[in-house]
Amino acid sequence: MQILMDVKKLEEPIDVLLVEGCVLTQHDQDILGKYARFAQKIVAIGSCASFGGPAALGNRFYRGDILRKMYPSSNPSGKSKIPTRGLPSVHEFACPIDTFVRVDLFVPGCPPEARTLRDFVNGIIENKRSFTNVKTVCDECPRKRNGESPSKIMRIIEIDEIDPDTCLVEQGLICMGKMTAGGCGAVCPSASAPCEGCYGPSMTFRDISSVDAPTIFDFWEKRNLARNNSH
């Protein structure tokens, strides 16, 4: 809560430690480890702390490559100048906080919806470990499913009019609702914006590798590949 408070050093018992953000630098890891020792309970707030978040999308590349691209030399032929003086080292992978400390409660969402935060406050008072009882985003989504598979995959920018009442997947859009934990109220698909899976994998869908963004990228690569081959 650096943004609101003026506490520079915290060295007293903490009832509930709320952690936002993933761990990407040694400083992140050190400060997390240090405060975790004072904490009774540790709560991961948001998808970065819970699953790694957008920064973890960078895990698909070598961190060194990203840094060299970020901090190039001022002259074109020279070596890159990655800033280091007085700075923490940067980890290869952006990781969720439970890689380093025990976590009592995950509050997913990018960001967690107000209703999720309210459930969390009640959950922590009642000492629950998990408080989401909606299985998937689809279970909360007002759109109707007719059980028909789309004839082809569509891009949202190509669709002339998105039917406000029919399931986005059945209209050909890639919507992650089916695999994503509910609790958000299906706010995105309700507004014709496909679910991007920010609440993380649904408990009914444990195989994480099949729900994260690379799936979409794979699809995209294959689509481009197929197009190039057809030329």
Partner 1 sequence: MQETIRIDPATRLEGHARVNLQFADGGAFEKIEFQSFEPPRGFERIFIGMPGEEVPRLAAKICGICYSAHGVAAVQAVENAWGVEPPEGAKKVRELMLLANLLHSHTLHFVMLAMPDLVCNSHEKKNVIGLIDKDRQLVETSMHLRVIAQKTTEILGARQINPAAIVPGGMTKSPTKEELDRITAIIDEAKNLVQTLKIRAETLLNTRTTLLKEFAEIKSHFLCLKQNGHLTVCNDDLELLGRDGRTSTMSTKRFSELVKERVVEFSFTKRPYLEGSVGLEDELIRVGPLARVNRCNWKNDLLRKFEQTFSRPTQSTLAYNIARVIEIEECVKRMEDIVKNGVDGPFRVTVKPRAGSGAAIVEAPRGVLYHYYSSDDQGTITEANVITPTGLNAFAIEKSAEAAARTRLQQKSAQEVTKEDLDMIEMAVRAYDPCVSCSVHVTQIERRV
* Side-chain-side CA neighbours of residue 85 (13 Å): 1
To the nearest 10°, report the CA torsion of 157, 163, 164, 170. Answer: -90
By the rule CB under 8 A, 222 interacts with partner 1: no
- The SS3 assignment for 146 reads coil
Taking the complex as a whole, the smallest distance from the CB of residue 110 to partner 1 amounts, in Å, to: 6
List the one residue from 14, 16, 36, 55 that touches partner 1 (CB under 8 A). Answer: 55
**Which window, 33-41, 51-59, 95-103, 140-148, contacts partner 1 (CB under 8 A)?**
51-59
Site string for partner 1, 115-154 (x = CB under 8 A): ----------------------------------------
CB within 8 A of 197, min separation 6: which ones?
Answer: 176, 179, 180, 211, 212, 213
At 214, the amino acid letter reads P
**Which window, 11-19, 122-130, 140-148, 191-199, contacts partner 1 (CB under 8 A)?**
191-199
Taking the complex as a whole, the smallest distance from the CB of residue 155 to partner 1 amounts, in Å, to: 6
Dist. CA 151–CA 172, nearest whole Å = 7
> Is the separation of the CB atoms in 116 and 108 below 8 Å?
yes
Token pair listed for 112: 């967690």
Closest CB to partner 1 among residues 16, 90: 90
Across the chain, which distance is largest between two alpha carbons, in Å? 66
By the rule CB under 8 A, 24 interacts with partner 1: yes
Dist. CA 147–CA 149, nearest whole Å = 7
Closest CB to partner 1 among residues 64, 203: 64
What is the contact surface with partner 1 in residues (CB under 8 A)?
2-8, 22, 24-25, 27-28, 53-55, 57-58, 61, 63, 65-67, 69-72, 74, 81, 83-88, 90, 94, 110-111, 113-114, 155-160, 162, 187-188, 190-193, 196, 216-217, 220-221, 224, 227
